[in-house]
Amino acid sequence: MSKVVRRRWTSDYSEPTKRDRPPCEYEAYVPDRLLARRFALDGPVAAVVADAEAAIMRLNAEAQSLVDTEAFARILLRAEAVASSRIEGLEVGARRLLHAEVVQQLDQLSPDVTANEVLGNIEAMVFASEAVGKEGPITLNLVLEVHRRLLAGSRLERHGGHLRHVQNWIGGSSYNPCSAAFVPPPEGLVHELTQDLVSFCNDDSLPGVAQAAIAHAQFETIHPFVDGNGRIGRALIHLVLRRRGLTPRVLPPVSLILATWAKDYITALQGFRYRGPAASREAHDGVNRWIAQFSTACVRACVDAASFAQRARSIEAEWRERLGSVRARSSTDLLLRALPGAPVLTVPGAAMLIGRTFPAVNNAVARLVDADILKQVTLGRRNRAYEAPEIITAFTDLERQLASPEGDTWISRPSRRVPARQRCQAN
Fold held by 324-396: Arc Repressor Mutant, subunit A (1.10.10)
User: What pLDDT does 416 receive?
Assistant: 31
Letter string b/e over residues 126-161, b meaning 16 or more CB atoms within 10 A of that residue's CB? bbbbebbeeeeebbeebbbbbbbbbbebbeeeebbb
Give residue 126's pLDDT band: very low, low, confident or very high (50, 70, 90).
confident
User: What pLDDT does 181 receive?
Assistant: 92
Lowest model confidence (mean pLDDT) among 114-118, 177-181, 316-320: 114-118
Instruction: Find the angle CA(266)-CA(272)-CA(276) to the nearest 5 degrees.
Output: 140
Contacts of 22 (CB under 8 A, 6+ apart): 11
Residue spans of the domains in the chain: they are 3-50+60-302, 324-396
User: What pLDDT does 17 receive?
Assistant: 67
Give residue 257's pLDDT band: very low, low, confident or very high (50, 70, 90).
confident
Which pTM was predicted?
Answer: 0.85
Indicate the length of the chain as a whole number: 427
* Model pLDDT for residues 386-410, shown as the tens digit of each residue: 999 999 998 888 777 666 655 333 3
Lowest model confidence (mean pLDDT) among 109-113, 303-307, 324-328: 109-113
Lowest model confidence (mean pLDDT) among 23-27, 63-67, 242-246, 388-392: 63-67
Give residue 68's pLDDT band: very low, low, confident or very high (50, 70, 90).
low
User: Can you list the positions of beta strands (E) in 142-247?
Assistant: 168-170
Q: At what angle do helices 229-243 and 190-201 cross, to 10 degrees?
A: 30
User: What pLDDT does 420 receive?
Assistant: 35
Q: How far is 418 from 260, CA to CA, in rounded Å?
A: 9
User: What pLDDT does 227 receive?
Assistant: 92
Considering the segment(s) 3-50+60-302 as one domain, its CATH architecture is Orthogonal Bundle (1.10)
